[in-house]
A and B are shown apart, each in its own frame.
Chain A
Amino acid sequence: EPEVTQTPSHQVTQMGQEVILRCVPISNHLYFYWYRQILGQKVEFLVSFYNNEISEKSEIFDDQFSVERPDGSNFTLKIRSTKLEDSAMYFCASSYYVGTGPTDTQYFGPGTRLTVL
């Protein structure tokens, strides 16, 4: 069964460093997302991406963050100048479609645990 994959599973970085989190969405999906979950807190939406551009972003997704689809398979989240409060689990998700049916379902990768020291 097709699945979303994410690398690395765990990333440790020093405050102020840049990190790139990588995702390979399900191959025939068209919509891609990043969410984060700070330990013990709710899942928070960061950004959605369709047709090579951002379709929606939250207030969290400021100039520190950027997304890119550098080729036909990868989808990346870059965090510039990481802060302690960026420590969280980052989930990539993809969906085939955005609409009013089951094809709207977002399937999640296993997550990347980012630790900023």
Chain B
Amino acid sequence: AQKITQTQPGMFVQEKEAVTLDCTYDTSDQSYGLFWYKQPSSGEMIFLIYQGSYDEQNATEGRYSLNFQKARKSANLVISASQLGDSAMYFCAMREGIEDSNYQLIWGAGTKLIIKP
């Protein structure tokens, strides 16, 4: 079974609109962390936002927010007022088993977001 599922391989969004990128995860651990990264066409991997499993509030970082629904095991990324520079691949990742010293990030397949002018 997939640990991280991103169901949208690609999305087209009009500039200045808000966009939601879906991510669902599968873990039996109580303590885990969820991350979103952006990968532009140049290839680097840019950290966007973090949500801990015990965090009661949704994480926000500027135009990025994370819609964390723990019972549904979803951690959707919301980008408000999209810009042309937001065009990129977006990856959802999880670090589970934190209390067992599990270090690796497990990655989804990514969503390619294209912002239309």
Note all chain A residues with C-beta closer than 8 A to B106: 45
Interface contacts (Cβ under 8 Å), in number, total 69
* Given A89-B43, A107-B47, A111-B45, residue A98 in contact with residue B103 (CB < 8 A): yes
- Determine how close the nearest CB of chain B comes to the CB of A80; give it in whole angstroms: 22
Report how many residues on chain A are interfacial, defined by Cβ distance under 8 Å: 29
B47 → chain A closest CB, angstroms: 6
- Is the CB–CB distance between B47 and A108 below 8 Å? yes
In the complex where A42-B109, A43-B91 touch, is A102 in contact with B45 (Cβ < 8 A)?
no
Q: Does A104 contact B (CB under 8 A)?
A: yes
Question: Interface segment, B17-25, B62-70, B72-80, B94-102?
Answer: B94-102
Bound state CA distance, A101 and B34, in angstroms? 10
* Residues in chain B within 8 A of chain A (CB atoms): 31, 33, 35, 37, 42-47, 50, 52-54, 91, 93, 95, 98, 101-110
